[in-house]
């Protein structure tokens, strides 16, 4: 295992991604798969400049440095797919390891449903429990390395003003799953043991990253779509800001330009473009959206 083999732990930092960028700027090489883990981030960031707030000591906020010189720039969204898949599959394995204990009534436990909300939010029972921010470092026109920032709500139970947020602990307890204190996955407090969760997540990311490195782009995309929230389901959307782009470079899809006054429309998530745009099949044809150009009105 190379992801997490070199682990740097910090009590407090503005952003683990910023810290990782400072590391890569130094002349001394940083081992592939280095993880920077912080108890507290004072300036954690999400997609498109949004903030990421996490209660200190209860969650996982970390960055992974990955060498991506093998990856063509046009395929860089496949890295997002690989990381997202690695995380949801790792969390699924964790939950299944605890499932044999059963629910409080002794009946089989219904495990919370894991999903990916485009482009790379992690959902647990349709609520957000994690997010990913990837910053790619280029050498000319080629990919050099990537800094993968990850925030996962693990033990936090209170999210003031954030009704759409959850944590792994809340999801498990809501399913009636007991968290006995003192086993391999829980500490004496009954909270999930963060080092054990981190180790499992790092294993999951590494497995999918190696698949990406082997060039298995189609199977990664197929699995990503299988976890993609709302895929293949008719729902209502709202256009934001400038709206979708035209269909140049969409591998044969015919893409229409909507009327600017038609802010709300119905459609079906049909796929993802090579650049990571969301493809939605509508009565106007196939539309492709960037992040922050569209919002689902049908929930997660």
Tens-level pLDDT at each residue, the chain (300 residues)? 999 999 999 999 999 999 999 999 886 889 999 999 999 998 755 544 455 567 889 999 999 999 999 999 999 999 999 999 999 999 999 998 877 544 555 566 678 999 999 998 999 999 999 999 999 998 888 899 999 999 999 999 999 999 999 999 999 888 777 666 666 677 667 789 999 999 999 999 999 999 999 999 999 999 999 999 999 999 999 988 654 554 333 333 333 344 454 489 999 999 999 899 999 999 999 999 998 899 888 766
Question: Which residue, 193, 210, 226, sits at the end of a domain?
Answer: 226
Same domain? For 150 and 280 the reply is: no
Same domain? For 257 and 205 the reply is: no
| pLDDT of amino acid 199 | 97
Question: Which residue, 226, 247, 264, sits at the end of a domain?
Answer: 226
Same domain? For 171 and 270 the reply is: no
Same domain? For 183 and 254 the reply is: no
Q: What are the φ/ψ torsions at residue 13 (nearest 5 degrees)?
A: -155, 155
| pLDDT of amino acid 256 | 39
| pLDDT of amino acid 182 | 64
The span from the CA of 10 to the CA of 23, in Å, is: 14
Q: Is residue 117 part of a domain?
A: yes
Same domain? For 179 and 248 the reply is: no
Q: Report the length, in residues, of the chain.
A: 300
Contact 48, 292 (CB under 8 A): yes
Same domain? For 193 and 67 the reply is: yes
Q: Give the bridge partners for 65, in sequence order.
A: 147
Q: Is residue 89 part of a domain?
A: yes
| pLDDT of amino acid 55 | 86
CATH of the domain at 281: 2.30.30
Same domain? For 217 and 88 the reply is: yes
| pLDDT of amino acid 159 | 94
Q: Which tokens in the block code for residue 8?
A: 């740097």
How far is residue 84 from each of residues 122, 134, 225, measured CA to CA in Å? 7, 11, 11
CATH of the domain at 158: 3.30.930.10
Same domain? For 168 and 48 the reply is: yes
| pLDDT of amino acid 247 | 37
Same domain? For 257 and 125 the reply is: no
Q: Please give the residue range of the domain that contains residue 242.
A: 231-296
Same domain? For 205 and 258 the reply is: no
Residue 292: left if φ>0, alpha if ψ -120 to 50, beta else—which one? left
Question: Which residue, 208, 226, 244, sits at the end of a domain?
Answer: 226
Q: Is residue 2 part of a domain?
A: no
If one counts the domains in the chain, the total is: 2
Same domain? For 171 and 253 the reply is: no
Q: Which tokens in the block code for residue 94?
A: 């964790």
How far is residue 11 from each of residues 8, 14, 15, 29, 59, measured CA to CA in Å? 10, 11, 12, 23, 13
Same domain? For 110 and 247 the reply is: no
Q: Is residue 33 part of a domain?
A: yes
| pLDDT of amino acid 220 | 97
Q: Is residue 1 part of a domain?
A: no
């Amino acid at each position: 295992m190379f992801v997490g083999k070199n682990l740097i732990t910090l009590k407090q930092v503005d952003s683990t991604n910023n810290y990782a960028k400072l590391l890569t700027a130094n002349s001394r090489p940083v081992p592939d798969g280095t993880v920077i883990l912080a108890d507290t981030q004072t300036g954690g960031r999400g997609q498109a400049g949004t903030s990421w707030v996490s209660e200190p000591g209860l969650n996982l906020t970390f960055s992974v440095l990955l060498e991506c010189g093998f990856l063509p720039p046009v395929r860089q969204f496949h890295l997002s797919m690989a990381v997202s898949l690695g995380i949801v599959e790792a969390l699924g394995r964790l939950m299944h390891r605890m499932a044999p204990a059963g629910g409080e009534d002794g009946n089989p436990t219904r495990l919370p449903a894991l999903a990916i909300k485009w482009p790379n939010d992690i959902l647990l029972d349709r609520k957000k429990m994690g997010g990913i921010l990837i910053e790619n470092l280029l050498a000319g026109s080629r990919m050099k390395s990537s800094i993968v920032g990850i925030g996962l709500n693990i033990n936090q139970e209170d999210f003031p003003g954030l009704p759409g947020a959850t944590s792994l602990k809340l999801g498990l307890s809501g399913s009636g799953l007991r968290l006995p204190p003192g086993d391999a996955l829980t500490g004496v407090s009954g909270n999930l043991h963060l080092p054990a969760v981190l180790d499992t997540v790092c294993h999951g990311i590494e497995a999918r990253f190696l698949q990406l490195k082997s060039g298995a782009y189609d199977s990664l995309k197929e699995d990503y779509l299988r976890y993609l929230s709302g895929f293949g389901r008719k729902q209502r959307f709202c256009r934001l800001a400038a709206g979708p782009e035209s269909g140049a470079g969409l591998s044969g899809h015919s893409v229409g330009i909507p009327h600017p006054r038609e802010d709300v429309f119905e459609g079906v998530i049909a796929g993802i473009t090579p650049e990571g745009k969301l493809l939605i099949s509508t009565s106007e044809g196939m539309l492709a959206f960037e992040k922050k150009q569209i919002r689902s009105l049908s929930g997660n």
